[in-house]
């Protein structure tokens, strides 16, 4: 059983405990344990065999026993019992905004509501208002919430590029207000989480009312779900929620830290503050002694310093070990966009891309790159105008001519995104041997069983000419989960064969994800960050791939395309010779 499966089981147990009205600290303990296991570099089953589970911070005897039970029997008996007590439909009820565990269980206990449809019916029949502590308002809240959930266009999380677009839009518009002294995007978008639920913005001003009125007047907002003096939540007409928090300029750094989160990171910071005799909130630090002294740090960095920590970049703020690393002075220096020297997976109009090689090269040079590799599709992918051998040769001649002109300011490497077919690659080895950068990927047979997919991937990775495994899981965010692939095995193969694993920067892929990439790096695999661009503008997606790498704790030395051209060429040569 894999770490994420164990983590998932503990998470489910926490949800079940919440619904039964258990002490909320108990469910939190399960959630903390789940998160620790998910971020664990080692296999949980190995630790279990060695009897070392309780060495993990947040895992005591009770949870260790349950993990043992799960690993040996495949089930936790407590979870089994709770599932009999709690209908699965209550989890759907929980997804309704404004309905938490207490109300969900109350609906079930007193009205027998165990599904969204029953909840909707009860709200329409005005039955909810009869319950203690509820009135007519809860019924309209529930109905509005269910309507949003049932509308598939509106319930989706935003892809990073979409969230980024809106985040900049609202930020710029708020910045134009004369009373706004500071404004920033916070929340999961600032942490660059792979998909975004709500947009969070923080502004500093001495005139909160004026700024609040200004924000509420934005024409694309529909209803307001919260409307207080310092916090406003509006529903954008396309369905997502935008939260604005208004603070004074003095409070701004503390508020920015607070609203960037994550919630778990904040909890750790407040515990640290408490140890130093201060209460940390979005308003700053307040002494818990009689003095009630208030400290409002001038920057996020100053606040971290007050707590004895170096500045922690937003992408790391997930309570995945960054606090411990910071205290120990062992935070990594993260890769930055400026460290990227090239893009090794770009499509041109030779296959299904929209730009010529020359246009791509010039745009890449503008970005400050030293090199790019043009990796169009191979011949079997007819739908994408894959290259027959004849056209592949002409493309190579074209690229050679471009490079020979010497006025590009960048080196164009030949490349291919070769399809991993059943039992072979889409070109023979002698063809692949002539290509600078060979990217291999699965584009077919997504429904095949694990063993068969893995056999194909292994064959590709063991091929000495294959340099990179592209979008290793094949997932499309919000659309499909990937094909059946054992990433533990893929990482082992990557380490063994030296094949680089791609972080694909396309906002609907981001594949590898942050946790898998981190695991790969911990085990010593090489990562490459590519855009898979099909149009000129998409070269800019590199930002998102770099963000995933940062969330995976990657430094520039661990990223293939942070090498300069000479080192990259050496890497490519050495690979060929060792296989």
Partner DNA sequence: GCCGTTTTCGGCCCGACTGTTTTCAGTCG
SS (H, E, C) 480-522: ECCCCCCHHHHHHHHHHHCCEEEEECCCCCCECCHHHHHHHHH
How many residues at the interface with DNA, by CB under 7 A? 62
Q: Which residue, 212, 160, 208, 207, is CA-closest to 187?
A: 160
**Looking at 280-288, 387-395, 411-419, 567-575, which segment touches DNA (CB under 7 A)?**
280-288
Q: Pull the structure tokens for residue 445.
A: 């047979």
Kindly write out the interface string for residues 174-203 of this chain, putting x where it contacts DNA by CB under 7 A and - elsewhere. Answer: -------------x---------xx-x---
Beta carbon of residue 350, minimum distance to DNA (angstroms, whole number): 45
Kindly write out the interface string for residues 20-59 of this chain, putting x where it contacts DNA by CB under 7 A and - elsewhere. Answer: ---x-xx-xxx--x--------------------x--xxx
Contact with DNA (CB under 7 A): which of 61, 217, 577, 578? 61
Beta carbon of residue 64, minimum distance to DNA (angstroms, whole number): 6
Q: Pull the structure tokens for residue 383.
A: 């739908």
Q: Is 294 in the site for DNA (CB under 7 A)?
A: no
Interhelix angle for 487-497 vs 514-522, to 10°?
40
Q: From CA 105, how far away is CA 90, in angstroms rounded?
A: 8
Strand partners, 480: 476
Residues with Cβ within 8 Å of residue 27, at least 6 apart in sequence: 14, 15, 17, 18
**Looking at 221-229, 323-331, 340-348, 376-384, which segment touches DNA (CB under 7 A)?**
221-229
**Looking at 257-265, 306-314, 372-380, 524-532, which segment touches DNA (CB under 7 A)?**
257-265
The DSSP element (H or E) to which 530 belongs, if any, is strand 527-530
Beta carbon of residue 543, minimum distance to DNA (angstroms, whole number): 23
**Looking at 224-232, 420-428, 510-518, 531-539, which segment touches DNA (CB under 7 A)?**
224-232
Looking at the Cβ atoms of 144 and 455, the one nearer to DNA is 144
Contact with DNA (CB under 7 A): which of 88, 133, 152, 153? 133
Beta carbon of residue 273, minimum distance to DNA (angstroms, whole number): 7
Q: Is 255 in the site for DNA (CB under 7 A)?
A: no
Any idea what DSSP says for residue 533? Answer: B
Contact with DNA (CB under 7 A): which of 80, 117, 227, 366? 227
Strand partners, 504: 511, 530
Q: Pull the structure tokens for residue 378.
A: 């191979």
Contact with DNA (CB under 7 A): which of 49, 109, 231, 333? 231
Beta carbon of residue 200, minimum distance to DNA (angstroms, whole number): 6
Burial class (CB in 10 A: 0-12, 13-18, 19+), 291: exposed
Give me the helices (H) in 335-388, please.
357-366
Looking at the Cβ atoms of 14 and 420, the one nearer to DNA is 14
**Looking at 131-139, 382-390, 477-485, 547-555, which segment touches DNA (CB under 7 A)?**
131-139
The DSSP element (H or E) to which 244 belongs, if any, is strand 241-247
Q: Is 63 in the site for DNA (CB under 7 A)?
A: yes
Q: From CA 67, how far away is CA 292, in angstroms rounded?
A: 44
Pairing of strands 500-504, 527-530: parallel
Per the CB < 8 A criterion, the answer to whether 474 and 439 are in contact is no
What separation in angstroms does the CA of 288 have from each of 10, 120, 126, 273, 394? Answer: 35, 46, 47, 10, 74
Beta carbon of residue 178, minimum distance to DNA (angstroms, whole number): 22
Contact with DNA (CB under 7 A): which of 41, 112, 222, 228? 228
Contact with DNA (CB under 7 A): which of 102, 237, 393, 570? 102
**Rule CB under 7 A: which residues touch DNA?**
23, 25-26, 28-30, 33, 54, 57-64, 96-104, 129, 133-138, 141, 187, 197-198, 200, 224, 226-231, 241, 243, 259, 261, 263, 266-267, 270-271, 273-275, 279-283, 286
């Amino acid at each position: 059983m894999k770490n994420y499966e164990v983590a998932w089981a503990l998470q489910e147990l926490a949800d079940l405990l919440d619904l039964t009205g258990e002490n909320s600290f108990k469910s939190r303990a399960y959630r903390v344990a789940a998160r620790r296991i998910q971020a664990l570099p080692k296999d949980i089953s190995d630790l279990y065999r060695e009897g070392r589970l309780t060495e993990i911070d947040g895992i005591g005897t009770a949870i260790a026993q349950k993990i043992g039970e799960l690993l040996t029997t495949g089930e936790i008996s407590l979870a089994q019992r709770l599932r009999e007590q709690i209908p699965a439909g209550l989890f759907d009820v929980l997804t309704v905004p404004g309905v938490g565990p207490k109300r969900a269980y109350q609906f079930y206990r007193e009205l027998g509501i165990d599904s969204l449809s029953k909840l909707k019916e009860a709200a329409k029949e005005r039955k909810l208002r009869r319950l203690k502590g509820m009135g007519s308002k809860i019924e309209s809240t529930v109905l509005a919430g269910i309507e949003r959930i049932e509308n598939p266009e509106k319930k989706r999380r935003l892809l990073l590029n979409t969230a980024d677009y809106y985040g900049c839009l609202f930020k710029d518009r708020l910045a134009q207000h004369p009373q706004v002294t500071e404004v920033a995007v916070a929340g999961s978008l600032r942490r660059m989480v792979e998909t975004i639920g709500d947009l969070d913005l923080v502004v500093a001003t001495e005139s909160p009312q004026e700024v609040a009125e200004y924000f509420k007047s934005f024409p694309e907002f529909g209803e307001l779900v919260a409307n207080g003096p310092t916090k406003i939540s509006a529903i954008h007409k396309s369905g997502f929620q935008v939260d604005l928090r208004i603070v004074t300029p003095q409070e701004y750094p503390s508020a920015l830290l607070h609203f960037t989160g994550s919630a778990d990171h904040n909890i750790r910071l407040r515990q640290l503050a408490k140890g130093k005799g201060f209460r940390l909130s979005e308003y700053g630090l307040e002494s818990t002694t009689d003095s009630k002294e208030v400290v409002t740090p001038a920057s996020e960095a100053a606040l971290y310093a007050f707590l004895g920590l170096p500045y922690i970049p937003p992408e790391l703020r997930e309570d995945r070990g960054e606090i411990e690393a910071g205290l120990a002075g062992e935070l990594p220096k993260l890769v930055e966009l400026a460290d990227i020297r090239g893009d090794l997976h770009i499509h041109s109009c030779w296959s299904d891309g929209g730009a010529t090689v020359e246009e791509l090269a010039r745009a890449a040079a503008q970005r400050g790159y030293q090199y790019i590799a043009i990796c169009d599709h191979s011949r079997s992918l007819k739908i994408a105008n894959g290259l027959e051998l004849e056209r592949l040769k002409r493309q190579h001649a074209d690229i050679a001519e471009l490079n020979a002109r010497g006025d590009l300011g960048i080196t164009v490497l030949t490349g291919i995104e070769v399809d991993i077919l059943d039992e072979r690659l889409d070109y023979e080895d002698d063809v692949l041997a002539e290509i600078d950068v060979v990217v291999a990927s699965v584009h077919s047979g997504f429904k095949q069983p694990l063993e068969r997919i893995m056999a194909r991937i292994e064959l590709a990775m063991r091929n000495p000419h294959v340099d990179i495994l592209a979008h290793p899981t094949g997932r499309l965010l919000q659309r499909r989960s990937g094909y059946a692939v054992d990433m533990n095995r893929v990482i082992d193969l990557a380490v063994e064969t030296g094949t680089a694993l791609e972080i694909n920067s396309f906002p609907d892929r981001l594949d590898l994800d942050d946790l898998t990439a981190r695991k790969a790096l911990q085990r010593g695999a090489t990562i490459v960050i590519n855009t898979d661009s099909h149009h000129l503008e998409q070269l800019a997606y590199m930002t998102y791939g770099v963000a995933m790498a940062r969330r995976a704790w990657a430094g520039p030395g661990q990223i293939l395309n942070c090498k300069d051209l000479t080192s990259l060429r050496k890497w490519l040569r050495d690979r060929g010779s060792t296989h």
